[in-house]
């Protein structure tokens, strides 16, 4: 292998008994990169993190750090520190003792431990809390102690197992940015496991989406958001609206056949490897635009579906409508409210319409188009 990453996973597989938890995981992470492992619960993301940390051995494949094979190495010999979802602070130790423990284990002289612990407390805004026990701290403070305990030993790689999931929603938003800023400042490599799409988008340089123990797609937040490689990724990244359509390739275009709710239309194929036949079309509610039936649709290109508004709600910022198109219901946003019963046209721009061959027909590997698309999220 020529282009070696800092942390390299090759052909990782893991199983519990007959249950295959992970398979064919190949991942290369650069020094200083912030990578988010994103997936729903049970997709194997925490298993993968524990495997990297060394709490379990893979059933196949290997893990290396700086070209050094660490697959069978003990957790503490890998230069990694893990921040647990539960924080796992030791309740019988004070904040300072918690942070100092890793240094104590390494036989660091007492004076140096004290200096580093107080520097760490200052860095994390824990000044004056050094003598408190974890039970006397707030959730956010505990989270910072857990982070301090991991960072105190100066690890090369910081592993974060859903560290924000136990925080209040409002604190979580600020901690996201604090954590990201801290990671950048220290130049540390970070792997962050989360099931929160927005959290991954905001924090990570690269998002690795896991589905059923395999990497479904990896890329920058912008790539996975705008160019999902599979129907699963599209759905996971918020394109929950699903329409079953059919069509055929014609030159550089894909022609969607007229259906129950749409006329024939064509969208540029780009780099999509679509075969003629049944397709699943996915799009986000916020990418669709609503027009009253009969109004002229200003934007050219894309697909137009006609339907009827079933209900409307105001989640904030825009009106969200449930629209019936033929026999399916989709959600679409608009700046003004349409009334239930209104006949509307739903316009989905070509770049926001994700097309995948339906599982039964066509090639099994739908690839998104690589052409950069500009979508306002």
Q: 């490599």: which residue's tokens?
A: 189
Q: Candidates 102, 140, 247, 307: give the one binding other proteins (CB under 8 A).
A: 102
CB 73 to other proteins: min, Å: 12
Q: Binders of other proteins: how many residues, by CB under 8 A?
A: 24
Q: Candidates 81, 164, 200, 303: give the one binding other proteins (CB under 8 A).
A: 81
Cα–Cα distance list, 170 to 47, 78, 139, 261 (Å): 28, 34, 12, 41
User: Burial letters for 228-250: b for 16+ Cβ neighbours within 10 Å, e otherwise?
Assistant: bbbbbbbbbbbbebebebebeee
CB 70 to other proteins: min, Å: 14
- Please give the backbone phi and psi of residue 8, each rounded to the nearest 5 degrees, phi first: -125, 125
Q: Decide whether 71 or 85 has the Cβ nearer to other proteins.
A: 85
CB 88 to other proteins: min, Å: 3
Give the SS3 label for residue 140: helix
CB 9 to other proteins: min, Å: 19
Regarding 86 and contact with other proteins (CB under 8 A), the answer is: yes
Q: Candidates 53, 63, 261, 355: give the one binding other proteins (CB under 8 A).
A: 53
Q: Could you tell me which of 107, 50, 40 has the C-alpha nearest to residue 82?
A: 50
Q: Which residues contact 16 (CB under 8 A, 6 or more apart)?
A: none
The Cα–Cα gap between 321 and 285 comes to 9
Regarding 75 and contact with other proteins (CB under 8 A), the answer is: yes
CB 162 to other proteins: min, Å: 12
CB 307 to other proteins: min, Å: 50
Q: Candidates 62, 76, 156, 205: give the one binding other proteins (CB under 8 A).
A: 76
Regarding 82 and contact with other proteins (CB under 8 A), the answer is: yes
DSSP string, 27-38: EEE-TT-EEEEE
Residues of this chain that bind other proteins (CB under 8 A): 53, 55, 74-77, 80-82, 84-92, 101-102, 105-106, 149, 153
């Amino acid at each position: 292998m020529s282009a070696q990453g800092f942390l390299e996973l090759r052909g990782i597989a893991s199983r519990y008994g007959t249950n295959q938890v992970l398979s064919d995981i190949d991942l290369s992470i650069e020094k200083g990169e912030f990578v988010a492992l994103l997936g729903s619960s049970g997709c194997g993301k925490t298993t993968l993190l524990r495997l990297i940390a060394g709490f379990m051995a893979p059933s196949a494949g290997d893990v290396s750090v700086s070209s050094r094979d660490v697959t069978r190495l003990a957790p503490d010999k890998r230069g990694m520190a893990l921040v647990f979802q539960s924080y796992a602070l030791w309740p019988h130790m004070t904040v300072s003792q918690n942070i100092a423990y890793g240094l104590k284990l390494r036989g660091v002289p007492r004076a140096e431990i004290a200096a580093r612990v107080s520097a760490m407390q200052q860095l994390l805004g824990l000044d004056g809390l050094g003598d408190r026990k974890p039970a006397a701290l707030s959730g956010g403070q505990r989270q910072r102690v857990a982070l301090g305990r991991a960072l105190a030993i100066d690890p090369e790689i910081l592993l974060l197992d859903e560290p924000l999931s136990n925080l209040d929603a409002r604190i979580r938003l600020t901690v996201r940015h604090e954590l990201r800023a801290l990671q950048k400042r220290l130049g540390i490599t970070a792997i962050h496991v989360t099931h929160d799409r927005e959290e991954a988008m905001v924090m990570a340089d690269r998002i690795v989406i896991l589905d059923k123990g395999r990497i479904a797609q990896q890329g920058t937040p912008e790539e996975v958001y705008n160019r999902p490689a599979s129907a699963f990724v599209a759905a996971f990244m918020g394109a929950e609206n699903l329409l079953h359509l059919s069509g055929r390739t014609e030159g550089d275009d894909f022609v969607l056949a007229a259906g129950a709710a749409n006329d024939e239309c064509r969208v540029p194929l780009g780099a999509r490897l679509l075969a003629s036949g049944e397709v699943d079309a996915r799009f986000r509610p916020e990418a669709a635009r609503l027009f009253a039936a009969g109004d002229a649709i200003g934007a050219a290109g894309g697909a137009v579906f006609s339907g009827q508004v079933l209900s409307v709600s105001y989640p904030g910022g825009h009106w969200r409508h449930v629209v019936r198109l033929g026999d399916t219901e989709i959600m679409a946003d608009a700046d003004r409210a349409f009334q239930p019963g209104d006949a509307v046209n739903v316009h989905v721009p070509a770049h926001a319409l994700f097309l995948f061959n339906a599982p039964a027909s066509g090639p099994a590997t739908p690839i998104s188009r690589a052409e950069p698309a500009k979508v306002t999220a």
